[in-house]
Amino acid sequence: MSVTIVNRVATTIGATEHPYMTGAWTPNFDEIDAPDLEVIGEIPRELDGVYLRNTENPVHAPIGLYHPFDGDGMIHAISFRDGKAGYRNRFVRTKGFQEEAAAGQALWAGLAENPARSLRPGWGAQGSLKDSSSTDVVVHAGQALSTFYQCGEGYRLDPVTLADLGTESWVPADGISAHPKVDEATGELLFFNYSKQAPYMHYGVVGADNRLKHYVPIPLPGPRLPHDMAFTRKYSILPDLPLFWDPELLPRGLHAARFHKDLPTRFAIIPRFGQPEDIRWFEAKPCYVLHWLNAYEDGDEIVLDGYFQEDPQPPPLPGYDAKIGRMMAYLDEHSMKPRLWRWRFNLVTGETREGPLDDRILEFGTFNPAVAGLKGRYAYSTTAKPGWFLFTGVVKHDLETGRSWSLPFGEGRYGSEAPFAARPGATREDDGWLVSFITDMVEDRSECVILDASDIEAGPVARVRLPHRISSGTHACWAPRSALNQG
């Protein structure tokens, strides 16, 4: 394996026992090129494209309590072609990253701290956080787009070289939320944002030419904290969830999230290029949903799948002081207890029907993007380690029959979100592969695993050794070679 350290970023982080700055979450500071990776097994020659994962890699000692979502964005990319693989990683050079590099210290307090401790004005719905662009990454209009946990500016990178292309020009003043959605059928990107100023939410559509085509308000009763959205071929679905900042504390500058269990969950369903007067509102059981799966039209109904949290305010995890214990609980799926859930909205009667599809604790789902906005058969969710934000395996669901199959990654092996990469010319929805990075704490290394999506329980068809052990992180995506900007 040929490895070149392109850059070593200076850090002010010293010895620490913070649970999300050590172990599987130990940050990386080296930017590396490794064009010829060692392969165990055989990479399918039809697998042609890039797998991108965004991770949180804090560079400077934090102001107060560090939250892992505060970490500086780092994109890890593995490129497959002709049965071979190459790797590189780069920091997302956000404005905040560059200002802190110049200052030689952290300038912004994070999600778990009082925002008044920040030394500079910030970004996001709070207006005080650093936009670290460390949450999600998608490929749209031939380029990679990284995003921030709340609402940020959106940063573009070359999806192959990871060259810094700066902030996205079309992003509105209120930014874009963590999870813009790419519709591969049209090439459009759908997004929303939220803020503390009326109307509190906006929704937009960016064309395949990377130009803003549509941007309208979605009026809400007050500031909210949605994280994700969904779409069908005709409609976009935007949630109004009853977990949001305490309105009595906001005037004092305190951002304390509360679950208002006496309020229903509401869904705004709007035609893709609709106006505010076209919105249809539906009510459902109080809950919080961090991530949605797919949605589709079924006769008079719209069907939406996601991960339902009945009580998203768990007590602090024991064994820590109260503040860290609370943060640990909010990162622990076994505290939040998300379940795969289905909602059905009748556009004629206005009725909502809903219920569980599985009773296991599952989250961070993916599916074949060819069926985005259409009725699909298969979904792929992750399991998690109790007490931690670490992925321990994959569960495949057949949504037609109710069958499921599981693959644990193994003791001390923690994966990443596993997007679906379709086999060229495939005629079956699950004819393709799941791709995931694995951080192996037993062997003290990382690798990329390729799973046959039609038979995940058979284990990896190939394991590709990475040149260093990478930090755990949040979201990932797959982009076929045809979707990449070759210019």
Which residues are CB-neighbours of 252 under 8 A, at least 6 positions away?
none
What value does the mean pLDDT take over residues 11-25? 96
Distance separating alpha carbons of residues 474 and 364, to the nearest angstrom: 9
**CA-angle at 132, arms to 126 and 136, nearest 5°:** 100
Nearest alpha carbon to residue 363 among 326, 392, 320: 392
What value does the mean pLDDT take over residues 205-226? 97
Distance separating alpha carbons of residues 486 and 298, to the nearest angstrom: 38
pLDDT tens column, 309-323: 998 999 999 999 989
Supply the pLDDT for residue 460. Answer: 98
Quickly list H helices, 149-210.
none
What value does the mean pLDDT take over residues 331-342? 97
Supply the pLDDT for residue 434. Answer: 98
CA dihedral 270, 209, 97, 178 (to 10 degrees): 20
Supply the pLDDT for residue 187. Answer: 97
Supply the pLDDT for residue 115. Answer: 80
Among the ranges given (84-93, 95-104, 125-134, 225-234), the one the predictor scored with the smallest mean pLDDT: 125-134
> Would you say the C-alpha torsion 294, 298, 302, 308 has a positive or negative sign?
negative
Supply the pLDDT for residue 487. Answer: 37
Strand order of the β-sheet with 265-271 is 230-231, 235-240, 265-271, 280-284
Distance separating alpha carbons of residues 129 and 148, to the nearest angstrom: 10
DSSP state of 402: -
pTM of the model: 0.96
Tell me the two tokens of residue 396. 């495949």
DSSP state of 257: E
CATH of domain 4-483: 2.130.10.10
Q: Provide DSSP, 131-142.
A: ----S-EEEETT
Confidence of residue 124 (pLDDT cuts 50, 70, 90): confident
Q: Residue 441 class from Cβ within 10 Å (0-12 exposed, 13-18 middle, 19+ buried)?
A: middle
pLDDT tens column, 409-465: 999 999 999 999 999 999 999 999 999 999 999 999 999 999 999 999 999 999 999
Confidence of residue 475 (pLDDT cuts 50, 70, 90): very high
Mean pLDDT of the chain: 96
> Would you say the C-alpha torsion 48, 54, 55, 60 has a positive or negative sign?
positive
DSSP state of 457: G
Tell me the two tokens of residue 129. 């956080």
Distance separating alpha carbons of residues 415 and 98, to the nearest angstrom: 30
Confidence of residue 178 (pLDDT cuts 50, 70, 90): very high
Distance separating alpha carbons of residues 367 and 375, to the nearest angstrom: 11
Distance separating alpha carbons of residues 383 and 394, to the nearest angstrom: 6
pLDDT at 287 over 60: yes
Q: Of all helices (H) and strands (E), which one includes residue 21?
A: none
Distance separating alpha carbons of residues 111 and 126, to the nearest angstrom: 10
pLDDT at 486 over 70: no
